[in-house]
Amino acid sequence: MATVTIYHNPHCSTSRKALELLRSRGIEPTIVQYLKTPPSAAELQAIARASGAPLRALVRTKQPEYLAQGLDDATLTDAQLAAALHATPVLIERPIVVTARGARLGRPVENILDLLD
């Protein structure tokens, strides 16, 4: 299989399950610990496009930073939202798996299955 990337938080059980699922299928993905190495704003926008979902689908709205930064403002552009996610990566929902077939938020983990061969 072509390159598979997982935007991963090792402290998140769902993220660990997604990584385990990939490995159980013989896939050793490129692991991006996004809290240490956040994707750029442009990468986040590209991931959202590849997923077919709006960028807001990748935002952890229950984090205190979400309201503190005013990210509930529906008038924010994707560029503004992506910049906020890059600057505050704890706001990025996880896990996100990216393949040549697209990108999926792994909540639930089964969402990533249609990306796999």
CATH architecture of the domain with range 5-115: 3-Layer(aba) Sandwich (3.40)
96's enclosing H/E stretch is strand 96-99
Active site residue 12: yes
Instruction: Evaluate if residue 20 carries a pLDDT over 60.
Output: yes
What mean pLDDT, rounded, does the chain reach?
96
Annotated domain spans of the chain: 5-115
Catalytic residue among 1, 12, 31, 46: 12
Average pLDDT over residues 66-91: 97
Position 77 scores a pLDDT of 97
Q: What percent of the chain has pLDDT over 90?
A: 97
Position 9 scores a pLDDT of 97
Please list the alpha-helical segments (H only) found in 25-95: 41-51, 64-68, 78-87
Q: What is the pTM of this model?
A: 0.94
